[in-house]
Amino acid sequence: MAIRNGSAAQAGSRGRRLSNSRVMEVLSRVGLCARGVIYVLVGALAVQMGFGGDSGKEADRSGAVRTIGEQPFGRALLWALVVGLAAMALWRLSEAAFGQAVTGGDKWTRRLGSAGLAVFYAVICIGVVQTALVGGSAGGRPGDETSKDYTARVLTWPFGRVLVGVVGAVLVIVGVVIVVRSLMRKFEQNLRTDEMSPTTRRVVAGLGIVGGVATGVVAAVAGLFVVLAAVRFDPGEAKGMDETLRSFAATPAGPVLLIAAAVGLLLFGLYSFCEARWRKAPEHGTSAEEPTEAPGSKTRPSAP
């Protein structure tokens, strides 16, 4: 038994060293850049939609992928995006397995969140791979159709209605948490703010706040539509990002609210590039429970 426990401890120690290695640091930065590309394109498509210039592309990840595929050397760009998304998925998977390299990063809630993000980015990566294989501009299935199909399928399961409602409620809660944490600037804990000039720090903070709030609001509203689909037992009520954004234009604020949300998503994409540049990395070989900080850096509560 002692030998078995010792082997498990050694395996866990090796896993933590891998999680905090330079390889994972590179993967995290590459993955954040890929996230930035997607959100910048989604935001740009949504802004165009808000001003009445409907390009025929969905303002979601499938629309962003189609836009990339239509560029010169589009297929090569898509494969580059695949690499970035795979890096993001692997990074989050390592966090789920061995904990995040921040104070309290070993908590089960953080591991569960990282596991969910790993699955999320793996699914997107697979979709981009399929698009790159069939043709750069072919694009994937619109997110709205996918959301409705999945919702319809789950509603036929035993207790499917309850499950759909729970998923929607979780999305709402996650969206609200993202908004609150963004307003409290908790994302700054993961940044090397001591290396920024005062002006740069204000710009990055603004991108993180506005972008995070927009992302959280869109997630919460999408969750509300999923809850509505469960209450009405109608998968047609579920909406992907594109239809969620379009629903903003149906409010009394009209296209103004849609454009505001679109700009926020675009700014979140720009913040992703900043995070890739200034994200803190633990000293290689240290454990997640003992993160290191750059001298003189200011510590805030853990970032989302």
Please report, rounded to a whole number, the percentage of residues in the chain having pLDDT higher than 90: 33
pLDDT reading at 137 higher than 90: no
Per-residue model confidence (pLDDT) at position 56: 60
pLDDT tens-digit profile of 172-228?
A: 999 999 999 999 999 998 899 999 999 999 999 999 999 999 999 999 998 999 999
CB count, 10 Å around CB of 50?
23
The answer to whether residues 226 and 168 touch, using CB atoms and an 8 Å cutoff, is: yes
C-alpha 166/C-alpha 217 separation (Å) is: 18
Handedness of CA 41, 42, 47, 53 (dihedral sign): positive
Residue 294, pLDDT above cutoff 80? no
Q: Give the integer Cα–Cα distance in Å for 59 and 147.
A: 14
| CA nearest to 222, candidates 268, 179, 172, 178 | 172
Is the pLDDT confidence value at 163 over 70?
yes
Taking alpha carbons only, the member of 175, 176, 172 closest to residue 230 is 172
Place of tokens 């204000």: 202
d(CA 234, CA 26): 44
Q: Is the pLDDT of residue 118 over 70?
A: yes
* Predicted pLDDT at 271: 97
Residue indicated by tokens 């010169």: 72
Question: What integer pLDDT is reported at residue 136 of this predicted model?
Answer: 54
Does pTM surpass 0.75? Answer: yes
What is the full DSSP assignment across 42-53? HHHHHHHHHTT-
pLDDT in tens, 252-275: 777 888 899 999 999 999 999 999
